[in-house]
Chains A and B, each alone.
Chain A
Amino acid sequence: MAKQDKQPQHAPDTGHEWDGIRELTNPPPRWWMISFHASWIFCVVYFILYPSIPLVNEATKGVLGWTQIGELNEAVAENDKIRAPFLKQVAQMNGQQLLADDGMRNFAESSAKAIYGDNCAGCHGAGGEGAPGLFPVLADDDWLFGGDIDTITESIADGRMGQMPAHAEMLSPDEIGQLADMVLAASEGKATPEQFAQFNDIGCSGCHGEDAAGGVINDLGNGAANLTDRIWRFSNSREEIIRTISYGVNQEDVPNTRVAIMPAFGEKLSPEDIKMLAVKVHQFGGGK
């Protein structure tokens, strides 16, 4: 490397001169030249070690064999290693034990956040707020099949599909209208004994119970809704209630029937994931 002259007026020139301005051949400062050579040497080394030159199908691989996905997989594996002992504990504990242990409950809830977002939030909402008339609210304390941790786990793993027969051809429009009035009154606690008698005579109590309090309170396990509380599975408008009574729920070959199917996740998710999901659902605020 040529030594730079600090005083430009002393520097050698090319012999070119225009109007008294000389073209100098003063070399760049030494530190600059060192940096320059270090830079290109770094580039060559980098090109050899890492994937760099794009070819027709893919880039050169580099002798280190480094890949982005490989780095990601390593990071994921490292994370899995940290989580492994906790997941093992989840596998060994049942739902109640998970709820009772502050630390594990936190772990379960945090872990389930992503699983819930991927699998559940589409219908039930990010905070379990459901979708009015379409998908049930998970955060309230009204349950079709039961709000204890074990039943929630079962619902997620095996799915649910309640049934309600269509009554349009069995009952007259008047009778259906009277039943709708009874249901509206019952949710306010104002249904009369006469209305309850009609409810029983028609046979509604077979599924909803004589008190109309539904499958969970009467321990029937059939998913029949509680008609005496303020929560509506579908709607609290009289027309919509008439529709539900007329065409039922999940009836094949009934065109206007309501569709209410919870798919089973037992095959798709691991038992640990389902357990942690159940904890999260339980903690939305309505768990029993």
Chain B
Amino acid sequence: MTQEKDTAQDEVRAKGEGTEQAIEEIYADAVHWHVNTGGETIHAMRIGGRFRRLKWYAGALWLSYFLLPYVRWEGQQAILFDVPGRQFHFFSLTIWPQDIWMLSLVLILLAMTLFGVTAVAGRVWCGYFCFQTVWTDWFTWLEDKIEGNPIQRRKLDAAPWGAHKITLKLFKHAIWMLIAVVTGVTFAAYFTDAFDLWYRYITLDAPMVAWVVLAAFVFGTYVFAGFMREQVCFWLCPYARIQSVMMDKDTIVPTYDEARGEPRGKVKGKIERGDTTARGDCVDCHLCVGVCPTGVDIREGLQEGCIMCGMCIDACNGVMGKVGRPGDLIRYTSRKELSGERLPYWLKRPRVLTYLTIFTLAVSGITYGLTHIPPVELSIVHERQPLYLQMSDGSIQNKYTIKAVNKTPDDLHLRVSIEGLDGVELRIDGGHEVLLRAGKLIPIHAYLRAMPTQLSEENSKIRFVFESVGSPDKISLTKGSVFIGPKK
């Protein structure tokens, strides 16, 4: 991706005095680069450089999305959202619906990461890692390979339909569609056995919901990455709308150094090479606009379309090299830095510290949650109608329904006893030992009896104690409840 342009630049530098020709080249395409007004497809030029490489590396992390469903761990799919079974498997962990509170912490954690990163370096999430921009990047890269560079693409779009155009377009859309299908199948594969799913898709034997998910993802991928592209960032994405509240004068974003660049003007011949007295450094080649995937002109300052991917920095540095002026006319910098102030160390900014604190709290909560998943999830429901009942011997009976979910892979025998109320008599169908089948929820009725003389108050706090019998790991659980008697 980066080689062609890099080598081109190197050659130019090597020639030294051949810059005149290079300068001519800079302007050759300038007429084609204009600012996005929403009316037409943006065909951004692809130029190599530091940030272009970074974007590839960051995007490559998404390859793991395609591979993870096929990873097996301890004999089963490593990552599996088992919706019918109401379990989420993540390697050795099994998360039950009762543990779902951790999900809110995960969401907070993700939000804080996004906020923190935005406070430090703006919308780099958008620029380098967002699935919308990454998939769009792959799609446009293919487009570039198949249909040629932006100028050729515009020409092709305007050309009448012929065999050549149809072939190219069909080929492009077929490959796009292929990526969309693989994206869709991969998503569905996180919810069921991945290999079995492929087999069922291929034999047209998949359940309805699998087809719906696939259709939604194929359609979404194909339309969003193939056609909507930067329009999604402009007017569909909520994050793009709220990002401005997270940025301030300390946030480093791709910025055009106006003081150095203006007044801009085209360079002519070698006279102005290295001469920065008469004019600013900007040679007005429009290349920064030409490479912008959202079609903004960074020289106008920070704006809503900028996803801060740094493509314009790569382009500008290339041009500055050619005309022999210092680079970084466009660079990642903050408003404060640009006005000559010293930028505080990023960790010392209260905004970043706040995000970091919430982030740490969320991480602690998740760590606690993951290390404290109870082997048995208990809930004890006290019968409400009637709250208590007099029995024939004058004793008071309370009824409870114990709902116990055995989260371990083995059956469990638990012995039940009561603490907190002396002389209370426990009756459970089938004795004081209950059998909890692995992975099952079974409601169990428990009846407690006490003589009114034993009750010192209307509501007595009691505890159900469950202790494992015979299993190798000792399990002991207590769950509070209440014993209700007549008014005192």
Interface residues of A (CB under 8 A from B): 6, 99, 102, 105-106, 125-129, 137, 139-142, 226, 229-231, 283-286
Q: Is the CB of B389 within 8 A of A285?
A: yes
| CA A226 to CA B394, docked complex, whole Å | 13
Other than the given A6-B39, A129-B385, A229-B393, 15 more pairs (CB < 8 A) read: A106-B442, A125-B385, A125-B386, A127-B385, A127-B399, A137-B389, A140-B389, A142-B391, A229-B392, A230-B391, A230-B394, A231-B390, A231-B392, A284-B399, A285-B445
Main secondary structure of the interface of A (DSSP, over half): loop
Which residues of A have CB within 8 Å of B442? 102, 106
Contact of B392 among A99, A126, A141 (CB under 8 A): A141
Q: Does B15 contact A (CB under 8 A)?
A: no
Q: Is the CB of B39 within 8 A of A139?
A: no
Q: Is the CB of B397 within 8 A of A285?
A: yes
Q: Is the CB of A139 within 8 A of B392?
A: no
Main secondary structure of the interface of B (DSSP, over half): loop
Q: From B445, which residue of chain A is reached at the shortest CB distance?
A: A283
Which residues of A have CB within 8 Å of B385? 125-127, 129
| CA A286 to CA B391, docked complex, whole Å | 8
| CA A230 to CA B39, docked complex, whole Å | 88
Q: From B390, which residue of chain A is reached at the shortest CB distance?
A: A230
Contact of B384 among A99, A127, A139 (CB under 8 A): A127
Given the contacts A106-B442, A106-B443, A285-B447, A230 and B386 also touching, CB distance less than 8 Å: no
| CA A140 to CA B449, docked complex, whole Å | 11
Q: When A and B form their complex, what is the total count of cross-chain residue pairs whose Cβ atoms lie within 8 Å?
A: 56
| CA A284 to CA B389, docked complex, whole Å | 11
Q: Does B383 contact A (CB under 8 A)?
A: yes
Interface residues of B (CB under 8 A from A): 37-39, 383-386, 389-394, 397, 399, 429-430, 442-443, 445, 447
Q: From A226, which residue of chain B is reached at the shortest CB distance?
A: B392
| CA A128 to CA B385, docked complex, whole Å | 8
Q: From B446, which residue of chain A is reached at the shortest CB distance?
A: A285
A–B pairs, 12, beta carbons within 8 Å? A6-B39, A102-B430, A106-B442, A139-B389, A140-B392, A141-B392, A142-B392, A230-B390, A230-B391, A231-B390, A231-B391, A285-B389
| CA A226 to CA B442, docked complex, whole Å | 36
Q: Is the CB of B386 within 8 A of A139?
A: yes
Closest chain-A Cβ to B481's Cβ sits at a distance in Å of 16
Q: From A130, which residue of chain B is reached at the shortest CB distance?
A: B386
Closest chain-A Cβ to B455's Cβ sits at a distance in Å of 15
Q: Is the CB of A127 within 8 A of B392?
A: no
Q: Is the CB of B383 within 8 A of A127?
A: yes
| Residue among A99, A139, A284 having the largest count of chain B Cβ atoms under 10 Å | A139
| Residue among B389, B394, B397 having the largest count of chain A Cβ atoms under 10 Å | B389
Q: Is the CB of B390 within 8 A of A285?
A: no
Closest chain-A Cβ to B414's Cβ sits at a distance in Å of 14
Closest chain-A Cβ to B465's Cβ sits at a distance in Å of 21
| CA A284 to CA B390, docked complex, whole Å | 13
